[in-house]
């Protein structure tokens, strides 16, 4: 973990200076909120197979109303098609929400847009897609300004008075949502299907940016791509068969998209050594990504005497006659894969905090969202344990707080910060 922290700092510094690095260190062109921002804002949240539209009233003093929200499901043809149908669908969804909530086009409407994919921002309301992740592969978007694409679609729908005041990714949104009511919050982390982090950096340290050097700005690390990690033979197998070999190395050890597949590869390796199931595999275990991350969670949470849940799950995967010893071994594999993911995450969090505060002299709140962090048994405890090993008593100065659905609320707050800065 200490080696990882040292390497992480080197990559962070290189990325901030605009030099080649596995960490992109993308400026978000927005600072943390003061907590005094007020007004009604619409938030758009595109981060996976759902698109959410929310209406939020910020009351100042860190308080806000409960959002009114609508969720729209993106069909496969939209996430694998071309730009016009996707952005047309988003504009149509926004139009439906405004009609339902009786928000008329008479007044200009400020919106914050959470776009949870790696993007290079040119300003608070402008950013081009760097690459698609999370199974998206929409033609004609990479390298294009996603705000301009959405604005064009909104104009076609007759929604010319809608203004995208701010653009952010989900990690930035999560951090901003928490920091609106918690001034100690200076790190945002997502550990779900994918993983990423952001933090508040001094402008003087963002050497690739021209302009004023006073104050601070949120930096989107894109830490899933960190590549200074030692790989096991299983990591190498997973990487070689992935869509983008050699990329997203940390993500392939930590995120929900890959944890189940890592466990499957280890189980397959043990079958090959005749250590479990008498050396007999099954079509269910031979199929890539067929051992899902939820099965890892299931195994880790099974406290029954005979590991009955595990027995049923293995039966569904074509192993009808597992022994208790087999099931204990599979459970151990799942716990090890999960524990390593948590320790890698913990070391990455430690690296980000010590970049800002090398001696850990202040309190730091880390806003965390994502299904892996929330639902994988002992995952959050293993991160806390890793931080304790690294910092000892000082680990008490770091508070990890689950910030559910922060990305949507955060987009509205970022729009408020952008609007107040004009």
422 has pLDDT over 60: no
The predicted pLDDT at position 106 comes to 56
- Residue corresponding to tokens 């080197």: 10
- Of 205, 202, 195, 201, the closest CA to residue 226 belongs to 195
The predicted pLDDT at position 301 comes to 94
The predicted pLDDT at position 421 comes to 59
Annotated active-site residue 134? The verdict is yes
Q: Give the lowest-confidence range in 91-105, 106-120, 195-209, 287-301.
A: 106-120
The predicted pLDDT at position 105 comes to 62
Q: For 4-37, write each residue's pLDDT tens digit.
A: 999 999 999 999 999 999 999 999 988 999 888 8
Greater confidence, 120 or 346?
346
Q: What are φ and ψ of residue 370, in 5° steps? A: 125, 145
Q: Are 331 and 302 in contact (CB under 8 A)?
A: yes
SS3 97: helix
Q: For 350-389, write each residue's pLDDT tens digit.
A: 999 999 999 999 999 999 999 999 999 999 999 999 999 9
Mean pLDDT of all residues in 190-205 = 95
Annotated active-site residue 252? The verdict is no
**Highest averaged pLDDT of the listed ranges 49-53, 73-77, 108-112, 149-153:** 149-153
CATH class of 24-182+405-416: alpha beta
CA distance 181 to 420: 17
Q: Are 160 and 339 in contact (CB under 8 A)?
A: no
- Of 106, 97, 94, 99, the closest CA to residue 161 belongs to 106
Look up the pTM and report it. 0.90
CA distance 76 to 391: 45
Q: Give the start-end residues of each E strand in 345-411.
A: 364-369, 398-402
Residue 83 is given by DSSP the state: H
CA distance 132 to 138: 8
Q: For 282-327, write each residue's pLDDT tens digit.
A: 999 999 999 999 999 999 999 999 999 999 999 999 999 999 999 9
**pLDDT confidence tier of residue 107, bands split at 50, 70 and 90:** low
- Of 351, 360, 366, the closest CA to residue 406 belongs to 366
Q: Across all residues in the chain, what is the average pLDDT? A: 92
Q: Are 415 and 57 in contact (CB under 8 A)?
A: no
Catalytic one of 24, 134, 156, 268: 134
Q: For 392-412, write each residue's pLDDT tens digit.
A: 999 999 999 999 877 778 888
Q: Give the lowest-confidence range in 93-107, 332-346, 408-422.
A: 408-422
- Taking residue 10's Cβ as centre, other Cβ atoms within 10 Å add up to 12
Mean pLDDT of all residues in 327-342 = 97
SS3 207: coil
Greater confidence, 66 or 245?
245
Catalytic one of 45, 110, 145, 170: 170
The predicted pLDDT at position 120 comes to 86
Rounded to a whole number of angstroms, the distance between the first and last alpha carbons of the chain is 43
Q: Are 106 and 162 in contact (CB under 8 A)?
A: no
């Amino acid at each position: 973990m200490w080696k990882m922290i040292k390497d992480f700092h080197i990559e962070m510094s290189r990325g901030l200076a605009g030099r080649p690095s596995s960490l992109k260190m993308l400026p978000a062109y927005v600072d943390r909120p003061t907590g005094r921002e007020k007004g009604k804002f619409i938030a758009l949240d595109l981060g996976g197979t759902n698109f959410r539209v929310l209406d939020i009233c910020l009351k100042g003093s860190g308080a806000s109303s409960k959002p009114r929200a609508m969720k729209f499901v993106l069909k496969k043809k939209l996430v694998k098609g071309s730009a016009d149908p996707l952005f047309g669908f988003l504009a149509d969804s926004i139009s439906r929400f405004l009609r339902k909530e009786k928000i008329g086009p008479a007044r200009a409407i400020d919106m914050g847009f959470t776009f949870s994919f790696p993007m290079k921002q040119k300003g608070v309301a402008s950013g081009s897609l760097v690459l698609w992740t999370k199974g998206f592969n929409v033609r004609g978007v990479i390298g294009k300004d996603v705000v301009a694409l959405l604005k064009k679609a909104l104009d076609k729908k007759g929604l010319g008075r809608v203004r995208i005041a701010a653009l952010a990714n989900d990690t930035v949104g999560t951090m901003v949502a928490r920091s609106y009511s918690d001034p100690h919050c200076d790190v945002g982390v997502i550990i779900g299907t994918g993983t990423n982090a952001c933090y508040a950096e001094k402008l003087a340290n963002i050497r690739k940016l021209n302009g004023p050097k006073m104050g601070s700005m949120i930096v989107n690390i894109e830490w899933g791509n960190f590549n200074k990690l030692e790989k096991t033979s299983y990591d190498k197998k997973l990487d070689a068969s992935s869509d983008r070999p050699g990329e997203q190395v940390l993500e392939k050890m930590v995120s929900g998209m890959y944890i189940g597949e890592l466990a499957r590869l280890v189980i397959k390796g043990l079958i090959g050594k005749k250590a479990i199931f008498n050396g007999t595999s099954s079509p269910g275990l031979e199929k890539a990504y067929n051992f899902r991350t939820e099965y890892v969670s299931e195994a880790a949470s099974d406290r029954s005497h005979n590991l009955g849940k595990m027995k049923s799950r293995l039966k569904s995967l074509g192993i009808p006659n597992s022994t208790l010893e087999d099931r204990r071994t599979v459970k151990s594999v799942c716990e090890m894969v999960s524990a390593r993911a948590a320790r890698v995450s913990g070391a990455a969090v430690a690296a980000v905090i010590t970049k800002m505060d090398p001696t850990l002299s202040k309190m730091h709140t880390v806003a965390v969202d994502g299904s892996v962090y929330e639902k994988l048994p002992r995952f959050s405890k293993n991160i806390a344990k890793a931080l304790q090993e690294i910092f000892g008593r000082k680990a008490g100065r770091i508070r990890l707080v689950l910030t559910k659905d922060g990305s949507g609320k955060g987009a509205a707050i970022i729009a408020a910060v952008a609007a107040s800065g004009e």
